Amino acid sequence: MLRVVILGAAAGGGVPQWNCGCRVCQAARTKHPELQSTQASLAISADGNHWFLINASQDLRQQLIAAPQLHPSPGKLRHSPITGVILTNGEIDAIAGLLSMREGWPFTIYAHAKVLATLKSNSIFNVLNEKTVRRQPIAIDQAFEPALPDGSPSGIEILPFEVTGKGAWYLEGERRATNEAGDTLGLRIRDKATDKFLYFLAACAEVTDDLKSRLRGAPLVFFDGTVWRDDELIAAGLGNKTGQSMGHIAMSGEQGAIASLRDLGIERKIFLHINNSNPAWFADSAERQTAERAGWSIPGDGMEITL
């Protein structure tokens, strides 16, 4: 049985963002605290005792406090059920939370060699002693099974695959090419005992024919929901970048996620990595109603799903 906990659903900065006065952030601070959300991450488990994180945002400490499934076992002075962290990219909101896991508990970081090289080149991540926190490279289109603490198989098979996207923005000065291999990964996560599976894509700039063939008929897909419309940040006066320029597809539009994934027979579709600018956060908005009519959900932090 595959268990999934949605630790956070928001994009970088969360909702509300610390320095943002847009209508979503204002509402989240005042009349609608239910809009508050931490940055996108999942926890997955096949046995309910050992958990793997999918990305580690800077909100991780708060997320772990809020998730009883991830608390230390009663009576143990030092313990965590977290066995590993799988990284899908090198963005700050995917890796910064690793610094909150520096207290000496053993676990493994699974990531593309490019992301591991980014961690290696930044000395601040040396607080994660590699004798305790192993770093294991993963390869595109090569399935792997993360291990339990004693080295036994976890029962979870993970297949990383390449997704159209963009490299971490803070590395743009070092390498400006977009969509290099390993910059943006999607994951197929399968319970080997039940054969139930899901897809996780926190970032995606385009729904290609290859991606459609992968997602067709899937029981559950978590998909990039950063912006409702491509020019959303510009139209709202919040920035000068489009969703595409940041490596994210819009929810709406002829080439957007809702239209592109409409006829693939996906049983359950959930948006993640939703920016504070996105009006679909509001339950009574036309945008939310459009998404829900198309079979999409906007989740809340802490929601658990079992497959």
Write down the pLDDT at residue 176: 46
Tell me the per-residue pLDDT of 214-248, one tens digit each, with 9 for 90 and over: 999 999 999 999 999 999 999 889 889 999 999 99
pTM, 2 dp = 0.95
- DSSP states along the chain: --EEEEEE-B-TT-BS-TT--SHHHHHHHTT-GGG-B-B-EEEEESSSSSEEEE---TTHHHHHHH-GGGSPPTT-SS--SEEEEE-S---HHHHGGGGGG-SS--EEEEEEHHHHHHHHHSGGGGGS-TTTEEEEEE-TT--B-PBPTTS-B-SEEEEEEE-S----GGGTTT---SS-TTSSEEEEEEETTT--EEEEES--S---HHHHHHHTT-S-EEEE--BSSTTHHHHTTS-S--TGGGT--BSSSTTSHHHHTTTS--S-EEEESB-TT-GGGSTTSHHHHHHHHTTEE---TT-EEE-
Sheet containing 269-272, strands listed edge to edge, beginning at the edge strand earlier in sequence = 156-162, 185-191, 197-201, 221-224, 269-272, 296-297
Tell me the per-residue pLDDT of 22-46, one tens digit each, with 9 for 90 and over: 999 999 999 999 999 999 999 999 9
pLDDT at 272 over 70: yes
Write down the pLDDT at residue 173: 59
Tell me the per-residue pLDDT of 54-93, one tens digit each, with 9 for 90 and over: 999 999 999 999 999 999 999 999 999 999 999 999 999 9
Q: Is 199 exposed, middle or buried (0-12, 13-18, 19+ CB in 10 A)?
A: buried
9's tokens: 């659903």
pLDDT at 179 over 60: no
Residue 295: band (very low, low, confident or very high) from pLDDT cuts 50, 70, 90: very high
**Cβ 248 vs Cβ 201: under 8 Å:** no
Q: How many CB atoms lie within 10 A of CB 141?
A: 8
Write down the pLDDT at residue 168: 75
